[in-house]
Structure 1
Amino acid sequence: MKILVHSLLLLLSISVQAQSGAKPDSAAFYFQFNHSDLSIQDRLNTKAKTKLTQFTSRKLILRAYTDSTGSTEYNLKLAQQRLESVKAFLAQHYPNRFTIQTETAIGEDNSLLSDAAKRRVDILEVPETAATGKIMYKNRTFELGVPIQLEIIFLMAQDVVLPGSYDDIRFLIETLKNDPSLSVILAGHVCCGTDSGDLSGKRANRIKQLLIMEGGISGNRITAIGFGNRKPLFVEDSEEHRQANRRVEATFIRK
């Protein structure tokens, strides 16, 4: 019953119903403790696979969760790994059928569900005519669950933020202050080889500190994580592409 109630609450977050009256549907894949491999033999996962065949829309929203064991950083990485497992499953079993509109590794599920029910990836169908989760603030439009690339410049090989970066930092602060229901995930990325000394994570955490110290934003609304060079935007065949891969992204969510 708890799982059903939670699924219904998730649907409400995207269910601004279309004029046609179409309603979204949902499914969820579950994982074993501290695992990110997807077992389709699991009874609940078999049901989820069947449920996907009943979806009428091509657009999906994916949200990945963990239980409360482990640190925030560990849980976010585990949620991301579970997200990738589900994406690989969809690509293998439903080639060219679905388009992932947004994907978010949320990490720890703070609901009252059991730990076993928290280890999951939710798949939400987006009706083709449904309203989007777009928000406009200060003449800038962003969408919940969709990463925004920030114009933040760091000192070479360090986590020191240079002065020309503060427009986007102020944007983050003002957006979070304007809507207290929002949280943000800050994801650091580097290019070229290994992430020496977790530079990507340090840069994401530096921005988190600025939001807390200069903006007065509560730390529990900000998650910072480094992905190293595991998620490049471009093949690193030029300095322009390498520079584009060195970035920090912000993803706004409502938990």
Structure 2
Amino acid sequence: MKGLLHSLFILAPILSFAQTKAPVDSMSFYFEFNSHVINFQYPHNSDTKTKLSKLKEPSLVLRAYTDSTGSKEYNLKLAEARLEATKQFLDKTYPKQFSIRTEVAIGEDLSQRSDSDKRRVDIIASHSSKTNSTEIASKKKRTFELNVPIQLKIQFVYGRDEVLKSSYEDIQFLIETLREDPTLYVVLGGHVCCGTDSKNLSGMRADRIKQILVMEGNISGSRINAVGFGNKKPLFVEDSEEHRQANRRVEATFYKK
């Protein structure tokens, strides 16, 4: 028997990619290769320390990254160590001054930054705003069934894993769905068309969506499995651009353990 039918209302994009944003102070600690020690001989780390001493907002968000070297498992552990080092520094240097609202060890940064810029922990302080972050801009009913793939309207820059702004409504759908039911898990399946997927673009695109859910939605990465299927599961024979475009897609399959 198919899974239970779910229905929900989703928010229009309201996270960091929304047009209306709360004022944000953002700074970072950077790390040497394969290290989780905060080195204050680095000028940018000293600058961050100075900014923290002057910061009035007590609530912080921490996001830890690594470069592209190493396995996913190793990078996640290294990101966790960098996150812990940052928390210990905050607690020791500014006792009781800050509270950690959200902390996420992301692992490899999939952006186009240089590797030296990827070895970091971002420290983000959001200030109050007239627009509440949970304010509903618009509502749209969406349904899904457990264990049944649904197609998402997520588009990328041609040949890359960079997400286009037109995709954020369905990204927000994923975030709100996972937030609403903490017992839900999701498999994100990336698909490409036309020949081989030797560079694993399908997997990179699925990983990119996972990273957005973790970074912007604060969804635990343990609830998200990103898989690249290459061109092995086409929806249509690729005899037209319309069919090729349809085969280039990301699907989401919600399930429960």
Larger Rg: 2
Relative to total residues, which structure has the larger helix share, 1 or 2?
1
In the superposition, the TM-score normalised over structure 1's length comes to 0.49
In the superposition, the TM-score normalised over structure 2's length comes to 0.49
Compare relative contact order (CA 8 Å, sep 6+) and give the higher one, 1 or 2. Answer: 2
